[in-house]
A and B are shown apart, each in its own frame.
Chain A
């Protein structure tokens, strides 16, 4: 109560004594807390705290690992129990990891979108942007943290599944080469993490979780589904392009079991999604700078 003074008694002091004190043209309170010039590193630490402190991260990544490992092991067990020797002779055991990853990618898409769009839904984005006024830095920090998390988790899950499947099917399938190992683990993990990063960018552009997730799932599934129903022969070229460049088919390229012989091959899908993501990132950054938060 002692600090409570009636407002009538205190007129605005025109020049309080501390204003006369030296200390530049803008005097005022000086905090004992050390002042730090903020860097990207600070924003990354902050984003790491954010991503690990919400339950949706645990849920989406938990379901992702469950899908990848569960479906992978199930496929391995089915094939090993029912096939005779040489059944997979032209393929290798790694290709069975595809099914789990395709379904699991929905979780990574969801987490990617939520990383940005949920901040708009909750209003947290205003707090974030006040704490870090550089919008490019915020977007970059989110992208780096999310990409690292998605890549590490996907690599761990896909590598575990790959090793298990290869050992389960050692007598029915041929042994994968070093290059196939690299594509089937690091390659797909980079691809899935970039797909998630693209979702994060779409979330930042659309600013609405459900909308952005719908757009991304549509982008993954729609080309393939549309192509399935393109019966007219005059549309065949379009149909082939839709098949070949659909995300599920590009994912299968990493396991060398693509739907067609033409279209992307080798590491092409990675360069394609890298290009798309880079363009989207530039667009999202331009929009972020232009729009009000």
Chain B
């Protein structure tokens, strides 16, 4: 279990992480989602004690990272694939990590086998592709067979087979009762992997909700209507008390997933329709909308605090 309380990191007057409070629970995959530069990596570095928080605290099963007596057998982390000395072979890289925590030498071969790097174990890391580097980093995280795992953007540079493999791996690790905390900037990826979702934007917490809840709330469906008699159609729909959103393309969007009443209304009033279709907004769109508003909030500081209203809505399970 990883607990963050009021975690804040400032670089000069730029706030990278702003008052983050959430808990990463064991037994599930927790997705940590945010656009590039949202503060995901900084947060992970603070969890690992690499960066000192400006304010707030992080506890790993009640302890600070520095207080862990057996760090690698407690928490394994993939920070970035480049955090390797390129001149060292994959085997020696993992060996020096294993030795630093008194992990048996045999584990090195085991994790190399798990990530599929046995054939290149004696090759220098600088010759590795991004995907191979990523696998080496994952091997390092698995080395101590830890109860908590953190992966920062693990699917970066992996091929489709590799992406499928890491997804399955994370799910099976969580199923064994481990805490799995994985960051990504891809909502679609998280939707397939994570059970719980923490969304941040500009260092602020935007959502802390279960994946199922997020999907239910955000799988917004609407009806798209196009008509040459746009003004007439608008009047008819307004008259029937139906809320309409006008889009830039000239189409109208009606919230809710029912096309029938709109079609019937149009027929009764003799409005010609060119399109009447049910649309499903993707989770990616929902995510972008969520994070875009955090950007907007920062740009106009005196406008009403929209993102907080958003954030507050998530855990209440609207």
Chain A residues 28-74 with CB under 8 Å of chain B are 28-38, 42-43, 45-47, 49-50, 53-56
Interface residues on A, range: 35 or more
Taking CB as reference atom, which chain B residue is nearest A291? B52
Q: Is the CB of A42 within 8 A of B194?
A: no
A28 to B60, CA, bound (A): 12
A235 / chain B contacts, CB cutoff of 8 Å = none
Tell me if A293 counts as interface (CB < 8 A to partner B).
Answer: yes
Tell me if B34 counts as interface (CB < 8 A to partner A).
Answer: no
Q: Is the CB of A12 within 8 A of B211?
A: yes
Question: Quick one: given A49-B92, A293-B50, are A36 and B71 in contact (CB under 8 Å)?
Answer: no
Q: Is the CB of A42 within 8 A of B100?
A: yes
* Interface residues of A, dominant DSSP: loop
Q: Is the CB of A122 within 8 A of B73?
A: no
Tell me if B127 counts as interface (CB < 8 A to partner A).
Answer: no
B211 / chain A contacts, CB cutoff of 8 Å = 7, 11-12
Question: Quick one: given A33-B145, A49-B95, A55-B87, are A130 and B77 in contact (CB under 8 Å)?
Answer: yes
Tell me if B148 counts as interface (CB < 8 A to partner A).
Answer: yes
A54 to B93, CA, bound (A): 10
Q: Which of B25, B178, B196 has the most CB of A within 10 A?
A: B25
Taking CB as reference atom, which chain A residue is nearest B171? A3
Tell me if A82 counts as interface (CB < 8 A to partner B).
Answer: no
Stretch in B78-86, B237-245, B246-254, B297-305 touching the partner: B78-86
Q: Is the CB of A11 within 8 A of B51?
A: no
Q: Is the CB of A11 within 8 A of B210?
A: yes
Tell me if A123 counts as interface (CB < 8 A to partner B).
Answer: yes
B96 / chain A contacts, CB cutoff of 8 Å = 46-47, 49-50, 53
Taking CB as reference atom, which chain A residue is nearest B60? A26
A126 to B176, CA, bound (A): 28
Tell me if A266 counts as interface (CB < 8 A to partner B).
Answer: no
A46 / chain B contacts, CB cutoff of 8 Å = 96-97, 99-100
B62 / chain A contacts, CB cutoff of 8 Å = 25-26
Tell me if B103 counts as interface (CB < 8 A to partner A).
Answer: yes
Q: Is the CB of B97 within 8 A of A127?
A: yes
Q: Is the CB of B144 within 8 A of A31?
A: yes
Q: Which of A7, A53, A124, A128 has the most CB of B within 10 A?
A: A7
Chain B residues 9-49 with CB under 8 Å of chain A are 25-28, 45, 48-49
Tell me if B215 counts as interface (CB < 8 A to partner A).
Answer: yes
Tell me if B265 counts as interface (CB < 8 A to partner A).
Answer: no
Tell me if A22 counts as interface (CB < 8 A to partner B).
Answer: no
Additional A-B contacts beyond A119-B85, A124-B83, A130-B77 (5; CB < 8 A) = A7-B212, A37-B70, A50-B96, A123-B83, A128-B100
4 closest cross-chain pairs (CB), A and B = A36-B102, A46-B100, A26-B61, A53-B92
- Sample of 6 A–B contacts (CB below 8 Å): A8-B215, A12-B28, A49-B99, A126-B83, A131-B101, A133-B49
B residues adjacent to A (C-beta < 8 A): 1, 25-28, 45, 48-52, 61-62, 65-66, 68-73, 77, 79-80, 82-89, 92, 95-97, 99-104, 107, 140, 144-148, 164, 167-168, 171-172, 175-179, 191-196, 210-213, 215
A residues adjacent to B (C-beta < 8 A): 3-5, 7-8, 10-13, 16, 18-19, 25-38, 42-43, 45-47, 49-50, 53-56, 118-119, 122-134, 292-293
